[in-house]
Amino acid sequence: MDDVVCKCVDLKPEDIALLQLIEKQMPIVSDISRADVLIYCRKSANEAVVVAHARPHSILPVYPADLRGRIVSPSEEPHVFHALQRGRSARSHLVLIANGAPVVRRVYPIRNREGVVIGAASIERNHIEHVRHRRRSRVFQRAVIQLQHMLLRGQITGAEDLSPFGEHDGILVVDVGWHVRYASGIATNLYRKLGYLDSLIDKRISSLEREDELMVTQAMQEIRCQEREAESGDRVLIRKAIPLLAQDGWRSKLNWLLGAPPTEAKLVGAILTIHDETEERRKEQELKVKTTMIQEVHHRVKNNLQVIAALLRMQARRVASEEGRRVLEDSVNRVLSIAVVHDFLSQHSSQAINIREVSRRIIQQTQEGTLDPTKGITLALEGPSIYLPAQQATACALVINELLQNAVEHGYARLPGGKITIRLEDQGDQVEIAVIDDGQGLPPDFSLEQVESLGLQIVSTLVQDDLRGEFELLNGRGVRAIVRFPKQPLGGK
């Protein structure tokens, strides 16, 4: 709201503070009203702007996108300007919004503590939901109106701490005598599962669950919204209690018409909402167990790969042939580059792998394992964090390892040293990985199609078959090995 509301006219700092408070309280009103709630303020004499917009979680919103910042004229929104300029509310009427859907709208002026109009609230339902609402109990309809009027005054204290109210949540309306005056069908069915088979209407809240009584009592005593999670038998229930305040009827209406400050509101009851979280928690627990098992598998694979690498190292020490030792050492590096990916998967529940961190680990392994410290070769890493699916990350780890080892082994055979850089670039739908050295370059007769190097053959195969990308070697002041491939969506195959 801040960026938009500060451009509005005739608003004092305390007016902006009240509008900001109302914005924090809008989501729960939008959810329970099953309506979009928009706040307009004057931008100029003939312009109004949407400074806040809450879209419901309990039903499909009227507007698919947030309308904050939208500017309207009197011809577009006459009822909004009627409320802003004359301080009068507009009764329900059927309108067609931009996408042609029929919507029922109620527009109310928002007044500051002195009774001056500082904004207008538009509460908008689709026509089907409006018809359904009209068929609901008058007790519930009255409670919703009281909640909406509390919003206009910024009186729903603690609403910003409430979680969203969903489509499958139940509702009870309780009066100041702690009697249930309304129970939605969802709430009735839920209490039947808890063992309450009789009608809930007119029952004292104390005759239901102990947590119900505690929540409603605390909300009424503190005049503050409450939310709490508790177990009831084998079920996990999340309750919200919202105190209901109403102003004295004729005095409030008279002050409203005269533009005078509103009268003090009095407590008239509470709304109690109930959400059955049991199934979500069961799925969450199952997912947690499954994730833990998968992480343990990756941990064991990583350990096994490290054992294989250790065995190959031992074998390399016993081989007399220099060529045979080099082949085994290359195999060790390949195995360890795959182990890096499994190490990440064993430590993180997400299947997304940060290829920059994988590159850092491969550089570290090269420095500690195969890089001759007397050669004076430095290794560097440039570029942002890029997250890839595990399958692509494994192929990338092998590619980076092969290209790095190839640069170390062949780039400085006749040079005292230099610098090798792994450069990562996120190009949106595509990733580019470049391994750049300032070494002696490629021989004049070099051809990637006819290369006999096993490492480069591995890179070409991985890039073409696994990454579905392209690979090229560019000669110059050293060699630039460039790999480009399309990025797979995270979680995709």
Kindly report, residue by residue over 215-269, the tens digit of the pLDDT.
999 999 999 999 999 988 888 999 999 999 997 655 555 554 555 555 578 999 9
More confident residue, 340 or 50: 50
Model confidence at 493: pLDDT above 50? no
- Rounded CA-CA distance 85/42 in Å is 9
144 found inside a domain: no
**Side chain identity at residue 452, one-letter code:** E
Say yes or no: 332 and 373 in one domain. no
374 with 490, same domain: the answer is yes
Whether 98 has a pLDDT exceeding 70, the answer reads: no
Q: Which CATH number belongs to the domain containing residue 163 in this structure?
A: 3.30.450.20
| Residue 149 lies inside a defined structural domain of this protein | no
Return the pLDDT at 462: 86
What pLDDT is attached to residue 255? 55
Residue 423, domain extent: 366-493
Could you read off the pLDDT of 190-227 as tens digits, one per residue?
999 999 999 999 999 999 999 999 999 999 999 999 99
Give the residue from 55, 25, 27, 23 showing the smallest Cα distance to 39. Answer: 23
* Residue 210: partners with Cβ closer than 8 Å, 6 or more residues away: none
Give the pLDDT confidence of 163-180 residue by residue, as tens digits: 999 999 999 999 999 999
* Judgement on whether residues 173 and 208 belong to the same structural domain of the protein: yes
- Please indicate, yes or no, if residue 142 is contained in any of the structural domains: no
- The DSSP bridge partners found for residue 353 are 388
Residue that finishes a domain, picked among 135, 170, 203: 135
Confidence of residue 348 (pLDDT cuts 50, 70, 90): low
Find where tokens 């527009």 sit.
Answer: 107
Q: Which two tokens stand for residue 350?
A: 């997400």
Last residue of a domain, one of 259, 276, 293: 276
Flag the least confident range among 21-30, 152-161, 335-344: 335-344
Bigger pLDDT: 303 or 29? Answer: 29
**Rg, C-alpha atoms of the chain:** 33
Distances (CA, A) of 427 to 221, 375, 432, 493: 57, 35, 7, 20
Pairing of β 478-486 and β 430-437: antiparallel
Query: Is residue 24 assigned to a domain?
Result: yes
Residue type, 153: R
The total number of structural domains in the chain stands at 4
Q: Are 29 and 83 found together in one domain? A: yes
Residue keyed to tokens 């503190």: 222
Tell me if 147 is assigned to some domain.
no
**Of all residues in the chain, what percent carry a pLDDT higher than 90?**
47
User: Are 185 and 294 part of one and the same domain?
Assistant: no
Task: For residues 338-367, give the mean pLDDT.
Answer: 79
% pLDDT > 70, the chain: 92
Tell me whether residue 226 is in a domain. Answer: yes
CATH number of the domain residue 103 falls in: 3.30.450.280
Name 361's Cβ contacts closer than 8 Å, sequence gap at least 6: 340, 343
Mention every residue, 6+ apart, whose C-beta is less than 8 A from residue 491.
351, 389
Alpha carbon 225 to its chain's center = 25
Q: How far is CA 137 from each of CA 172, 179, 316, rounded to the nearest angstrom?
A: 11, 16, 83
Q: Are residues 163 and 197 in the same domain?
A: yes
Same structural domain, 101 and 164: no
- Is residue 163 domain-shared with residue 196, that is, in the same domain? yes
Indicate if 30 and 92 belong to the same structural domain.
Answer: yes
Per-residue pLDDT, averaged over 136-161, amounts to: 95
- Predicted TM-score of the model (pTM): 0.65
Task: Choose one of 323, 349, 375: the last residue of a domain.
Answer: 349
Is 357 within a domain? Answer: no
The more confident residue out of 470 and 263 is 470
Residue 18 pLDDT grade (very low, low, confident, very high; cuts 50, 70, 90): very high
Task: From 398, 378, 361, select the one nearest 439 (Cα to Cα).
Answer: 378
Sign of the CA dihedral 305, 309, 314, 315?
positive
- In this structure, the answer to whether residues 445 and 421 fall within a common structural domain is yes
Q: At what angle do helices 127-135 and 138-153 cross, to 10 degrees?
A: 120
Q: Cα(473)–Cα(456) distance, rounded to whole angstroms?
A: 10
272 and 305 assigned to the same domain? no
Element (H, E) at 276: strand 265-276
Q: Does some domain include residue 141? A: no
Strand pairing category for 235-247 and 265-276 = antiparallel
Residues 338 and 370 in one domain: no
